[in-house]
Amino acid sequence: MTNLMELWEGLGLLNKIYWIIAIPATLIFAIQIILSLLGADADSDTDIDFDADGFGGHIFSLKTIVSFLMMFSWSGIIAQSFGVTQMASLIVLSFIAGIVTMLTVAFVFFSLTKLSYSGTMNAENAIGHTGTVVLTIPEKMKGKGQIQIKIQESLRTLDAMTEDLENIKSNTNVEVVDVMENDVLLVKRKR
């Protein structure tokens, strides 16, 4: 512990600032990467919305700012270890490295969002498929019930109506025959 304190005391002010930024930024960046790999990533809510569909909307997010700080500080530490001692040169070098990293991370996440699957449901994809009634569907188009059906690899609960002459009760299998206004499914009892 004493050697660590002596080493810290021997650092110049700029190097101390770099280390103070480097350690938490690196830890936060590592946590962000782990959360992204586990699918628990919520960074899309922290983007500053310049253009949600464009590259600009991804430049200033928590990931890109943390990546800027991490690379800014580590490039300064590495440059000093190679003998760069002029403060202005160190700061400019660190800033350029941080900006390049920030733009690279923004581009990667922008590209990934373009590759991601669209979660927008197209009710037309339900036609011909079987679902299960979860809320009784009144006969002869007298009202709406609900069915659960798998559409686009996702289980959904949707409003449904029927032309059948009897109510269709819960837990009954139905077939989707058409899609009406407001994505209400027209179904018939599966025989």
Tens of pLDDT, residue by residue over 84-99, are 878 888 899 999 999 9
Distance between CA atoms of residues 186 and 70, nearest Å: 55
Pairing of strands 130-135, 173-179: antiparallel
Band (14; pLDDT cuts 50, 70, 90): confident
Q: Which residues are CB-neighbours of 25 under 8 A, at least 6 positions away?
A: 66, 69, 70, 73
Is residue 111 scored above 90 in pLDDT? no
Phi, psi at 177, each rounded to 5°: -110, -20
pLDDT at residue 174, as a whole number: 96
C-alpha to C-alpha distance for 140 and 54, rounded to whole angstroms: 48
Looking at this protein, which amino acid is placed at residue 35?
L
Q: How many CA atoms lie within 13 A of 62 on its CB side?
A: 13
**Region 146-164 average pLDDT:** 91
CATH of domain 123-189: 2.40.50.140
Across 170-190, average pLDDT: 94
Residue carrying the six token digits 């590209």 = 111
> What are the residue ranges of CATH 2.40.50.140 in the chain?
123-189
**Which of 120, 113, 116 is CA-nearest to residue 51?**
113
Q: What is the pLDDT of residues 32-80, one digit of tens each?
A: 888 877 766 544 444 444 444 455 656 778 888 999 999 999 999 999 8
Mean pLDDT over residues 100-129, rounded?
79
